[in-house]
Structure 1
């Protein structure tokens, strides 16, 4: 009886949480800055165009930055806060330290927007717009970014360490991590397609290419050439997550999974003989339009994670520190 009551309580709590998120989401809208800062979106897109023309990899970094922001206390710009002598934020967390990039790009965007409409556009919204602009610039789909988020006054080091799924995650832990954010397994598989762009350090895929069996042998050997077996040797050597079209947002990532060429353990877990995600991976590997549609929808869902609205939080004038 006690167990049943506990399950009911958890179900009720989940429903209440989803209702709260839905209410907040309803107040976000694509035209939020139409009157207060009509050039906001175009300014973001201009900087992204300039940035990716100079360094295509930065598109993946900015998309990842939005993801890492939303998975820790919601899409609130907390990942952008610098550490101080009395405060350690999310930049110091394992998944971000010496890994998260693009902060200077967000600074550049914020500075340009502040010159046009000061104290109006949140850093959290800039991250959301920059993520879409990056995907589009690299050939991926577009979607209606709902805006109106505000910025947090704090960050969570423990949240970044505990909430962000790592490259060694199992399928069950991936599902749990996304579910905890109100995202479905379908969302998870679609969002994982972000790994069709970007690069990874040897440190994060060494174990897979030397120790795992669910991997194409020729692929493993080619990766070993740039990632020595000895820990500490070549840890920072980079390899594209998608070996074929590393700077193109497409469905090649899923094609690689079907041939056991996923770079991360967590990638290959999506296609590992399980009934839960294998069929979705197969679909995306042959139907890029389906992947694009589902990725766009999943990005909208992710952008809905616990936004600060109304009078909560603030509009930071500098994304690295609170006002």
Structure 2
């Protein structure tokens, strides 16, 4: 005679209660007690993107730690896992470590940030009177233009204000490729670049410099963009084009923090929104965390689908 199984009713009821009260998606969080380490690089836009990602990861249930890193050295940290993810990687200026780590599958590119970008040579718009023919690059070779941009440290060449030396110098290569009579002079920092642009605009002092967008300074200064000279070689060292901006993670990230991996794959940043936040931080002196929190609190309809996707 077959016996009916004896069910532990109390145990089943307890299990159902626990399941009902378990946080959504908790099974996919992975190592939620180990912090996800995000690098803070040298520019405010990246700080904004990183802190938006960080606050959303915290909403999902993770611990987040922000670590100071350099634009090129960060890839060594990503390769060995001491940095977990970098959410704003400009692919036109990654240095030597990135391609090697990518080829060795120590890091993983998880897709575009969808950040509409611009990069190249800019000048205050009044320069079009000083160098007739701008924005075409050939106008920069005219003697009156070179002379206007010449300084004691660069004479007889004109002065080209370049990125800080640790960011790399594609402009110096392009100037040499096209035999342009200019000397690339590295700036000290992003702040120094902006200060020179603002000073040139205020004093109507000639200036030619390397710059990028989105950036709050472009909303407050009237600039033109040079139509760039031809590329001697179709490589990142010899060309400046609007860069792609992607998200990169340590190769073990997805296995260790599964829901975070999905969230960061979904994560996007709008350039205009980023620029507004940069203006509030850099120009108005507002706190980074507070500015980002205000945006996050006011844009739930944008990021909630990313959270929902990560919880599935």
The two structures have a TM-score, normalised by structure 1, of 0.27
Structure holding more strand per residue: 2
Structure holding more helix per residue: 1
